[in-house]
Amino acid sequence: MSHSLNAALVGYGFAGKTFHAPFLSTTPGLSLSWVVSSDSAKVQADLPGCRVGSLEQVLADGSVDLVVIATPNDTHAPLARQALLAGKHVVIDKPFALDLAEAAELVELARKQQRLLSIFHNRRWDGDFLTVRRLIAEGTLGQIAQFESHFDRYRPEVRQRWREAGGPGSGLWFDLGPHVLDQALQLFGQPNWLQADLSGQRPGALADDYFHVVLGYGEMRVILHGSCLVSATMPRFVIHGSQGSFVKFGMDVQEDQLKLGKRPPAADWGLDSEPGQLSRIVDGQLQQQSLTGEAGDYGAYYRGVCAAIRGEGDNPVPATEALAVMALLDLARESNRLGQRLSCQKLSD
């Protein structure tokens, strides 16, 4: 396959416009040829010359290699199924289905169709996460005892949008849970057990807007926390180990850069101006230092997708890996319903 890969983007809401279109338009060897949207004027204003049409038109176009699905969560699996049956490679925004069973059916279909199925877990390429991953891999903090991942916001009013409407796939856990779960799995693998507390705390909440999920790995604890009612400045990561601790405030900057219209390869792309705080015990003495983090690189995802389709590299986020995220999303809902700690052993069998 020597030609530039042609991509079609299905959905031009926040995710499609902010996270997908910029990279589908700028990744070498990849061209954004179609957008499926009901707002043609909005698309044409941002992407002059790009064709806007229906999913049926996209799937009938033999020149389209890749279909990217960035629609509401409850439509991910049905749309992906249509695209795979039409012989297209498929990228799906997270979470890629409403439950594990639906996700597993897509994985099997992609296998039968011999098409790439990849899930957009872009926060594997957050700069702060890349820094955390390096510190843990290098053993800088020693044996990890406690890992906290916070994804907090201050949005005290319930908004009129599908993510908060209480329907299938809505709520903060399905919005941010896939990010923090995927990162935890990348660092530590499958936990032994999980205990989850999900709640709707804001007046008029129709879906969960708070989650506190604990993953157990032997003696180590991984704490995943998100809330819409946090006005204070809280750390993004807190990690304690036998030889030191690392605390990082502030979010990865790439989302804000994309909202401002910046695109890679801008000189400051992905560079975080807020260093983390590394504390270590060296020769019995506490030493503290500011640690400048890695640069974030969401573009690595679509470069990897292109390489995988061409047979020149691995799928950057195989759907089989994302199945583990779906399993824990489901298990957390069950843990919350029962009010119990649940074993993850069956998920590994």
Q: What is the pLDDT of residues 110-120, one digit of tens each?
A: 999 999 999 99
Which pLDDT score is estimated for 34? Answer: 98
Fold: same for 5-120 and 123-296+328-348: no
**Contact present, 9 and 16 (Cβ < 8 Å):** yes
Note the pLDDT of residue 329: 97
In this model, does residue 144 exceed pLDDT 60?
Answer: yes
Return the domain boundaries, the chain: 5-120, 123-296+328-348
pLDDT of residue 265: 86
Residue 51 has pLDDT above 90, yes or no: yes
- Give the per-residue pLDDT at 6: 97
- Rounded to whole angstroms, the Cα distance separating 111 from 27 reads 26
Give the whole-angstrom CA distance, residue 328 versus residue 193.
10
pLDDT for the residue 349: 62
Task: Report pLDDT for 347.
Answer: 79
* 306-317: average pLDDT: 97
pLDDT reported for residue 281: 85
When pLDDT is cut at 50, 70 and 90, the band that residue 122 belongs to is very high
Give phi and psi for 286, each to the nearest 5: -80, 125
- Residue 346: pLDDT band (50, 70, 90) is confident
pTM for the full predicted model:
0.96
- Residue 3's pLDDT is 75
* pLDDT one-digit tens code per residue, 236-287: 999 999 999 999 999 999 999 999 999 988 999 999 989 999 999 888 888 9
Average pLDDT estimate for 188-195: 98
Per-residue confidence band for 186, with pLDDT thresholds at 50, 70 and 90: very high
* Distance of alpha carbon 197 from alpha carbon 179, whole angstroms: 17
Hey, how many other C-beta atoms are within 10 angstroms of the C-beta on 224?
26
pLDDT at position 276: 97
pLDDT given for residue 46 in this prediction:
95
Give, in words, the CATH class of 123-296+328-348. alpha beta
Beta bridge partners of 89: 66
pLDDT band at 155 (very low <50, low <70, confident <90, very high): very high
Task: Report whether pLDDT(67) > 90.
Answer: yes
Token representation of residue 160 = 């009129």
CA distance 120 to 99: 17
* Bridge partners, residue 278, by sequence: 246, 289
90 beta partners: 67, 117
* 349 burial via Cβ count (<10 Å: 0-12, 13-18, 19+): exposed
Give the count of beta carbons closer than 10 Å to the beta carbon of residue 77.
22
Q: Express as a percent the part of the chain with pLDDT over 90.
A: 94
What single letter denotes the amino acid at residue 326?
Answer: M
> Which tokens go with 196?
């989850």
3-state DSSP assignment of residue 67: strand
Answer yes or no: is pLDDT of 348 > 90.
Answer: no
CATH of 5-120, one of 3.40.50.1000, 3.40.50.720, 1.20.1070.10, 3.40.190.290: 3.40.50.720
CB hemisphere CA count around 168 (13 angstroms): 10
Task: For residue 190, count CB atoms less than 10 angstroms from its CB and return exposed for 0-12, middle for 13-18, buried for 19 or more.
Answer: middle
Q: Encode pLDDT of 196-224 as tens digits.
A: 999 999 999 999 999 999 999 999 999 99
Pair 321, 181: CB distance under 8 Å: no
